[in-house]
Structure 1
Amino acid sequence: MSPWSRILPTTYCDSDVQPSLTKAALQSVRTAVAVPESELKRWRRTFDANAKVVNGEKYLDAESFVTAIAPKGDLSKIGRSQFGILFRIADTSRRGLVSWEDFTVFETLLKRPDADYWMAFQYFDVDHSGFIDYNEFKTVFSANLGPDAIPFDFDCDWVKLYLGKKNGNHVLGYNEFTQLMKGLQGERLRQAFKYLDTNEDGFIKPDEFKRIILEIAGHKLSDAVIDRLPTLCTLSPGQRISYSEVIAFHNVIREMDMVERIIRESTAKSKDGRIDQNDFLNYAASSSRYSLFTPMEASIIFHFAGRGVGMQRLALLDFAQLLDPRWRPPHDEEYTAVKAPAVSWGTKILMSSYSFVQGGFAGAVGATIVYPIDMVKTRMQNQRSTVVGQMLYKNSIDCAKKIFRNEGFVGFYRGLGPQLIGVAPEKAIKLTVNDLIRSRAMDPETGRIEVQWELFAGGMAGGSQVVFTNPLEIVKIRLQVQGEAAKVEGAIPKGAAHIIRQLGILGLYKGATACLLRDIPFSAIYFTAYSHLRKDVFQDGYNGKQLSFLETLSAAAIAGMPAAYLTTPADVVKTRLQVEARKGQTHYSGLRDAFVKIYREEGFRALFKGGPARVIRSSPQFGFTLLAYETLKDVYPWQDKPLKMETALTSRPDEMSKIRARNALKILLDVHGDFGRRAAAFSGRPLSLSNPKLSPP
């Protein structure tokens, strides 16, 4: 049988015909697995970027092949050299080179949904017969065991059940082989424990347990967990480890993805962002049809995630050392260099300057987009039903029409200049203060913050901005109402400089109390609502999710609705206090006087004048402002981002073919952790069924 008959799917490979790598054959492979042209072009670019010219033709050798197919930033502890296992599968001609045709077929096969098991099958199928017999299984397995490895009994009942009793006359097809591989690690575990349990009392020493785990699962564990493997003996009396504990630990490793999902989801739903063993078991039971984990397995999970303390409550980050094979302790020099680089004074100044520009730019974007709506809102709030003569505006739409008709499009942006000048420090201090207080009040392990601290942070942010907001708004408002004053009284509009000189320093803070009464609750409501919309509604950070452009905009815009409308009464009073009263209009002596007179003269509804316009303005304004702010934070070179636990469930996924290539290696590494490491000594040499020592792993 041709080597290609073991690789090409049976739907287009006749075992009686020797297939050749003609264009027609390659096209049949691509068609059967539905490879789009764009993907073929990407494969070609990858091949050409790594290939070397040999005798005028391009080929991949073992090194360049690994570079082409190995995932970048692999999440496991698989050595780069071990990806060379797959080179032997792709190099069917055994010439030590992979051509473009070989590479195309290899990549096409990686698109199979069962590519990981298929590759493992090719590795064991030494004679390319399409079947694996006892001799092949033993030879390939033995060739990958080092001299110090725990021996494996190939004459055990488990192997005989798969491969027969008499002369190993039973052969395994592909489907049968997959089941053998799935159960092989369990048999390895059983035999290893029995081999090391010399007293046959059902216990082994801690260092012997570590030896077993390193052979069959060392690539799945972080160095911190590996170092602590012997401490498993502390879970029960006697300072030794039972078979039950070994099996329980292995079950945890085997179901690590499910362990992580349960931990992520249960900590996300926990009030304090932490869980104990009971919470873990309860959530596991409620999220699955059958009980997945025993109490012993839960104890093991919490033992290696915590510090050996019993019923403690742990945060998601506490489990990182168990769930992430790459985990390193925070004091690790390389870890610290990445997570907490030293910050010089010059850098701090740059950081502060960037924050100022960042907040200012974000605020300017939001303010400019919604300024026409703000103009309508101000005109409506300043309109008084007690004014002698006909009211200027029937409603907000009528107001917008008359502004456009009487003052033109430019009229919608009257007073924008002072707004943009003041919005930079206003937004910078507001966003910075909120982030600063939240970061100080936040639990560094869970990322949680209590609601009262969220409200306090938002309120302080709103209060701190008034030093910039009040002068800005009093000038803006007087500029905005000049258009209607000129229409009614024939007055000549004055510029911002004239208004500032007229008011003086103290006059610029007229209505500041009302401004505080508006901005403190607004920011407290807004930032709290925004945070919870991101986390609780749009699931930001849930299993590593990052919000899209539309989701961030929606969260920021929706949060502005209740904040804007509920603080409208304070905004109405502030507007009345800051606008220069004309002849026939009521004069207000202060905050309380304004509230009382507005209520008595115009009724309760007058306190919510311009409320819809305020919502229509504030919602998109803060939506675009926060969207710009969050976007700038993502590219902030000094951004102090909270620690996160990233694993295969949360990291940006590799191409599916690379994921399956990695998974194929994991299946082989489950046989023994050294699988593929001895390949260098035998690279390119044919596998000998009669002499396992000549067999390259």
Structure 2
Amino acid sequence: MTEGAFSQSAKDFFAGASGGVAQVLVGQPFDCVKVRLQSQSISSPLYNNALDCVKKISKNEGIGALYKGSVTPLLGIGFCVSVQFATYEYIKRFFGRNGNHMSVPQYYIAGAISGLASSFLVGPVEHIRIRLQIQTDANKLYSGPLDCIKKISSQYGMKGIMKGFNPTALREAHGSGVYFLTYETLIKSSMEKHQLKDRSKIPGWKLCVFGAACGYSMWIFAYPFDIVKSKIQTDGFLSKAIYKSAWQCAKGIYSTSGMMGFYRGFIPVLIRAAPVNGATFYVYETVSQSVRHL
């Protein structure tokens, strides 16, 4: 990598990290509700719906419980998103070398590669966060993220920390492919419609709308993988595990609840998608434009 390419990647990394922090701060409460709904027992659910979940968490554990496990994602997801965006922009420059215009499949491929790259970080970060989110005041096995990492790694090694990696990688690769393809399509369409030559001229409110739209498209196509991932990451370890593989988990969900089982807890995700992804892309584009000429 040349000095210029390294400098640009560093700027993309910083802008991505900024977008990642915004993503966590806006989305953490929604994510907590999503995980609680996804991981509860089908036969005897504790929560009737997303609103009931919020009410019971607030009443029994306090409103601060909606931010359980937030230290890990603030540090981890910020870094994950920075890797995702920096990788995506690098692949874009690779495809666009020599002045070539990127095709629709290339946008998807660039997004999928960036998602796969970030999944090696996203997997363990989300696993630790989920273990903390499903704890109640009456059932606390871990005192915090470091204690959770220590206990899991000491008993089950790195394999325990990386539990649920396969469905995470599938979700991140396919989801990110759809995510960035949708965003770039909307950006390109807006620039052509208004005859803009620089994406920095696109109003901030439009960036938020585009970000919300790509968040919706990503989750519609990637959510079934997320359900399987959450089931596995809240499952027991080794002999205590209900699911021996992601495929077994998927078959179990289908046999019990049909296709609707793969969209359990989807409403809070849809509600979350707009503000979270709108904030992510707005902050990313704003910071990226600010550091471009540094």
Per-residue deviation at 1:612?
Answer: 2.2
Q: Which runs of 5+ in 2 are unaligned?
A: none
Counterpart residue number, 2:213: 558
Counterpart residue number, 1:531: 184
1:541–1:531 Cα change, 3 Å: farther
* Total equivalences in the alignment: 286
1:479–1:422 Cα change, 3 Å: same
- CA deviations on 1:615-669 (whole Å, 9 max, x unpaired) are 2223322221111111111111447xxxxxxxxxxxxxxxxxxxxxxxxxxxxxx
**For the Cα contact (< 8 Å) 2:235–2:243, is it kept in 1?**
no
Of residues 120, 128, 136, the one that matches 1:475 is: 128
Q: Which structure has the highest helix share of the two?
A: 2
Counterpart code for 1:415: G
1:543–1:571 Cα change, 3 Å: closer
Separation of aligned partners in 2, 1:592 and 1:453: 29
Separation of aligned partners in 1, 2:241 and 2:124: 23
1:532–1:348 Cα change, 3 Å: closer
Of residues 117, 126, 129, the one that matches 1:464 is: 117
Of residues 218, 224, 234, the one that matches 1:569 is: 224
- CA deviations on 1:434-465 (whole Å, 9 max, x unpaired) are 111112212754x7311111110000010000
- CA deviations on 1:200-226 (whole Å, 9 max, x unpaired) are xxxxxxxxxxxxxxxxxxxxxxxxxxx
Per-residue deviation at 1:383?
Answer: 1.5
- CA deviations on 1:499-539 (whole Å, 9 max, x unpaired) are 21222222111111000111111100010000111121564
Separation of aligned partners in 1, 2:186 and 2:13: 26
- CA deviations on 1:304-359 (whole Å, 9 max, x unpaired) are xxxxxxxxxxxxxxxxxxxxxxxxxxxxxxxxxxxxxxxx95x7766554433321
Of residues 351, 358, 361, the one that matches 2:18 is: 361
Counterpart residue number, 2:49: 395
1:503 aligns with 2:152: yes
- CA deviations on 1:531-555 (whole Å, 9 max, x unpaired) are 1111215647724472101011111
Counterparts of 1:356-505 in structure 2, within 5 Å, are: 356-386=13-43, 390-442=44-96, 445=99, 448-483=101-136, 486-487=137-138, 490-491=139-140, 493-504=142-153, 505=158
Larger RCO (alpha carbons 8 Å, 6+ apart): 2
**For the Cα contact (< 8 Å) 1:351–1:638, is it kept in 2?**
no
Q: Structure 2 length as normaliser, TM-score?
A: 0.89
Give every structure 1 segment of 4 or more consecutive aligned residues whose post-TM-superposition deviation is greater than 4 Å.
Answer: 347-353, 490-493, 537-541
1:568–1:604 Cα change, 3 Å: same
Counterparts of 1:535-554 in structure 2, within 5 Å, are: 535-537=188-190, 539=192, 542-544=195-197, 546-554=201-209
Counterparts of 1:128-527 in structure 2, within 5 Å, are: 345=3, 351-386=8-43, 390-442=44-96, 445=99, 448-483=101-136, 486-487=137-138, 490-491=139-140, 493-504=142-153, 505-527=158-180
Separation of aligned partners in 1, 2:172 and 2:13: 20
Out of 461-470 and 502-511, give the one that drifted further.
502-511
Separation of aligned partners in 2, 1:494 and 1:543: 52
Counterpart code for 1:574: K
SS across alignment from 1:415: coil
Per-residue deviation at 1:428?
Answer: 1.2
**For the Cα contact (< 8 Å) 2:95–2:102, is it kept in 1?**
yes
Q: Which runs of 5+ in 1 are unaligned?
A: 1-343, 640-697
> How high is the sequence identity, in percent, across the aligned residues?
25
- CA deviations on 1:560-601 (whole Å, 9 max, x unpaired) are 10211221110000001111449xx98101111100111112
Separation of aligned partners in 1, 2:147 and 2:10: 31
Q: Structure 1 length as normaliser, TM-score?
A: 0.39
Separation of aligned partners in 2, 1:470 and 1:373: 19
Counterpart code for 2:52: D
CA RMSD, Structure 1 to Structure 2 (Å): 2.5
Counterpart residue number, 1:634: 289
Counterpart code for 1:633: S
Larger-Rg structure: 1
Counterpart residue number, 1:305: none
Of residues 595, 598, 601, the one that matches 2:253 is: 598
